[in-house]
C-alpha cells in the first residue's frame, strides 16, 4: 500500500499517537475515502477589518469572513498522486455557517523525508504553500509552519519571516468527548479534537478554529 504523506515524513513516531490518530494519518486505501463530521466550537476571526481579505480567500476555498460558535462541519479526505508524482491527501472541509456554507480545500504532500517535509497546498488553485514541521507530543500530533510561500506566475515566493503568517495545528483524541452534531442522540464515546490558529508578526491572531469530530474510512 502507498504510504501517506505523514508516514513518509514523521515515520515511526506516528506509533506514539493515540490509536485513532494513527488510523487518521495512515494511508487511505485505494477506492476509499475518509469521512468526518462534527462541530467547531468557534471558527473565524472577530477582527472585521480582516474580512475584505478573507472574502478574497473564500473565493479560493481557503478561509472565510466569519466569526461564529457551534459551527457544524464535514470533512472528506481523498488520496491521490499529484501531477509531480507525489503522494497527496486532499481534504475538503465544509463549514455550515449561519449565513451559508463555505468550503476549505487543501492538499498535503510529502516534499521530502524528515519531520519538516510536509507541505500544505492551500485552496483549489494552490496559490499558497505552507511547509510544516511535525512532532508527536503525548499522543498528539503538532504541526508548526516553518515557511509560507505565495505563487506569482509560475514561481513560489517565500515570504520573509518578519511578515510571514505562522500556523499551528494540533490534532488529539479525547476518549470522553462527544463528536456528534448538535441535537445528535449519539452517546459520548470519544472524538477527535482539532485546533488551528494563524498568527502574524505585529498583527497577532488572524484566524482560528477548534472543535471535535468523528471520522471513518469507507469505500466510495
- What's the pLDDT tens digit per position in 204-218? 999 999 999 999 999
Three-class secondary structure assignment of the chain: CCCCHHHHHCHHHHHHCCHHHHHHHCCCCCCEEEEEEEEEEEEECCCHHHHHHHHHHHHCCCCCCCEEEEEEEEEEEEEEECCCCCEEEEEEEEEEECCEEEEEEEEEEECCCCCCCEEEEECCCCCEEEEEEEEEECCEEEEEEEEEEEEECCEEEECCCCCCCEEEEEEEEECCCCCCCCCCCCCCCCEEEEEEEEEECCCEEEEEEEEEEEEEEEEC
* 28, pLDDT greater than 50: yes
Q: What is the pLDDT of residue 193?
A: 97
Question: Does residue 74 have a pLDDT over 90?
Answer: yes
C-alpha cell at 47: 477582527
Give the predicted TM-score (pTM) of the model.
Answer: 0.90
155, 2 contact by CB (below 8 A)? no
Query: What average pLDDT does the segment 167-176 reach?
Result: 95
Residue 189 has what pLDDT? 78
Place of cell 515557511: 147
- Residue 96 belongs to some domain of the structure: yes
pLDDT digits (tens, 9 = 90+) for 88-124: 999 999 999 999 999 999 999 998 777 789 999 999 9
Q: How confident is the model at residue 161 (pLDDT cuts 50, 70, 90)?
A: very high
**Span 57-78, mean pLDDT?**
98
Say how many domains are in the chain.
Answer: 1
Q: What is the pLDDT of residue 203?
A: 94
pLDDT band at 177 (very low <50, low <70, confident <90, very high): confident
pLDDT at position 179 is: 59
Is 132 a domain residue? no
In a domain, 19, yes or no: yes
Query: Would you say residue 130 lies in a domain?
Result: no
162 found inside a domain: yes
- Rounded Cα distance, 166 and 145, in Å: 6
Residue among 151, 171, 168, 150 at smallest CA distance from 159: 150
84 is a domain residue: yes
Q: Which residues contact 104 (CB under 8 A, 6 or more apart)?
A: 61, 62, 63, 64, 91, 92, 93, 94, 95
Q: Which residues of 112-139 are buried (b: 16+ CB within 10 A; e: fewer)?
A: eeeebbbbbbbbbebbbbbbbbbebeee
Domain of residue 78 covers: 5-122+137-219
Is there a domain that residue 129 lies in? no
Distance CA 207, CA 50 (A): 9
In a domain, 127, yes or no: no
Amino acid at each position: 500500500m502507498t504510504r501517506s504523506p505523514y508516514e513518509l515524513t514523521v515515520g515511526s513516531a506516528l506509533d506514539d499517537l493515540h490509536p485513532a490518530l494513527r488510523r487518521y494519518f495512515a494511508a487511505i486505501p485505494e477506492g476509499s475515502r475518509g469521512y468526518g463530521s462534527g462541530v467547531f466550537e468557534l471558527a473565524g476571526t472577530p477582527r472585521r477589518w480582516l474580512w475584505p481579505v478573507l472574502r478574497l480567500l473564500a473565493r479560493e476555498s481557503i478561509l472565510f469572513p466569519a466569526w461564529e460558535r457551534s459551527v457544524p462541519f464535514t470533512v472528506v479526505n481523498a488520496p491521490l498522486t499529484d501531477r509531480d508524482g507525489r503522494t497527496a491527501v486532499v481534504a475538503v472541509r465544509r463549514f455550515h455557517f449561519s449565513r451559508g456554507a463555505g468550503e476549505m480545500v487543501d492538499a498535503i504532500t510529502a516534499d521530502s523525508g524528515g519531520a519538516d517535509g510536509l507541505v500544505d497546498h492551500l485552496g483549489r488553485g494552490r496559490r499558497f504553500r505552507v511547509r510544516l514541521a511535525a512532532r508527536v507530543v503525548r499522543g498528539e500530533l503538532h504541526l508548526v509552519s516553518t515557511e509560507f510561500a505565495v505563487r506569482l506566475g509560475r514561481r513560489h515566493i517565500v515570504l520573509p519571516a518578519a511578515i510571514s503568517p505562522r500556523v499551528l495545528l494540533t490534532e488529539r483524541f479525547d476518549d470522553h468527548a462527544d463528536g456528534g452534531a448538535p441535537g445528535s442522540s449519539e452517546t459520548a464515546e470519544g472524538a477527535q479534537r482539532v485546533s488551528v490558529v494563524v498568527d502574524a508578526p505585529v498583527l497577532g491572531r488572524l484566524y482560528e478554529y477548534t472543535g471535535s469530530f468523528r471520522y471513518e474510512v469507507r469505500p466510495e
